[in-house]
Amino acid sequence: MVEWRISETPVPYEEALAFMEHRVAQIAAGEADEMVWLLEHPPLYTAGTSAKREDLVDPDRFPVYEAGRGGQYTYHGPGQRIAYVMLDLNKRGRDVRCFVRRLEDWVIAALAEFNVKGEIRDGRVGVWVTRPDKPKAADGTLREDKIAAIGVKLRKWVSFHGISINLEPELEHFSGIVPCGIRDHGVTSLVDLGIPATMVDLDVALRATFDRTLGDSSRTNTESC
């Protein structure tokens, strides 16, 4: 069974980290169910294990936290839905690459509920949308903006951290970092794309698409992803 938890007000980052650490230990010990936690954070930047100091453009703008997850710098703030996934990969197949791909599939499926086509790109983390409404790049290709970030950590094959989807954050806040180390592309949100969605709408979409992308704990790491 996967427990779902929704926080109605922004959760301080240190509080979220402490909660995840405790819950992951409980799951690994067989003392608690798996959990998906939906929340927002106050404005802040997080540094993943691959973060480069030069990508923190404005270090004094918001608090900066060492996240311990994979990836580089990212922004979190109001209007962005965070989904922290505390799931037991001992039951779901000990395949990190496959698990990350299923997280991507989950984001893409949730975006499809709003008729938004999310895509992944080799060498670029996160989920992307093409922007035919923007001027083309210098090489003639369509512009692409990132709408969701993904970064996870495992302890005893139990995951924590997870995904963030931009519903209606202040996009200018991303200018204080080079998001995920990617300089040649921008960021967007559902509202920026003209989708008048609410956080409740997004939560419903995440719940509706979870089971068909991540809900089957009988999958093993021998299956293709």
Is 65 annotated as contributing to ligand binding?
no
DSSP 177: B
Is 25 annotated as contributing to ligand binding?
no
Catalytic residue (one of 64, 82, 180, 197):
180
Q: Contact at 8 Å (CB) between 88 and 217? A: yes
Is 75 annotated as contributing to ligand binding?
yes
Query: Residue 190 burial (CB < 10 Å; 0-12/13-18/19+)?
Result: buried
Is 185 annotated as contributing to ligand binding?
no
CA dihedral 187→71→116→89, nearest 10 degrees, is -160
Is 219 annotated as contributing to ligand binding?
no
180 is catalytic: yes
Is 72 annotated as contributing to ligand binding?
yes
| Amino acid sitting at position 153 | K
DSSP for 135-152, please give it. Answer: PPPTTSPPEEEEEEEEEE
Q: Which token pair is 10?
A: 């922004």
Is 161 annotated as contributing to ligand binding?
no
Annotated binding site, which residues? 69-76, 149-151, 162-164
Annotated binding site for substrate, which residues? 69-76, 149-151, 162-164
Which residues are catalytic, by number? 180
